[in-house]
Amino acid sequence: MKTPAVYIMANKRNGTLYTGVTSNLPQRVYLHREALVDGFSKRYGCKMLVYFEILGDMHNAIAREKQIKAGSRKKKLALIERDNPEWHDLYETIV
């Protein structure tokens, strides 16, 4: 079953951030954590799931991803801090 989601990965608290969209959040985060995805998140070690939103359909998820990516770093940090002030790795909450 597909569950559209937007998510933010980080390499450490207040570190490098990666924002993505997927239809299978547990699988996608696993790929990031194990560095099986070439690109930005692998290069910068973004292995902690620090924020995610489940959305109703992929069109909304893509629109939300674009909205988050268009925002400033300060806005992204505020989004994370609002729901996850301790910057816990949320992976265990989704598997």
Q: Read off the pLDDT of residues 51-74 as tens digits, 9 standing for 90 and up.
A: 999 999 999 999 999 999 999 999
Q: Which domains does the chain have, with CATH numbers?
A: 5-94 (3.40.1440.10)
Q: What sign does the CA torsion over 81, 21, 60, 94 have?
A: negative
Tell me: pLDDT of 2 over 90.
no
What pLDDT sits at residue 24? 96
Q: Which two tokens stand for residue 75?
A: 């806005």
- Alpha-carbon gap, residue 55 to 22, rounded angstroms: 10
pLDDT tens, 3-19? Answer: 999 999 999 999 999 99
pLDDT above 70 (res 46): yes
Mean pLDDT of the chain: 96
- Whole-structure pTM value: 0.96
Cα–Cα distance measured from residue 16 to residue 49, given in angstroms and rounded to the nearest whole number? 12
| Sheet of strand 5-10, all strands in order from the earlier edge strand to the far edge | 17-22, 5-10, 48-54
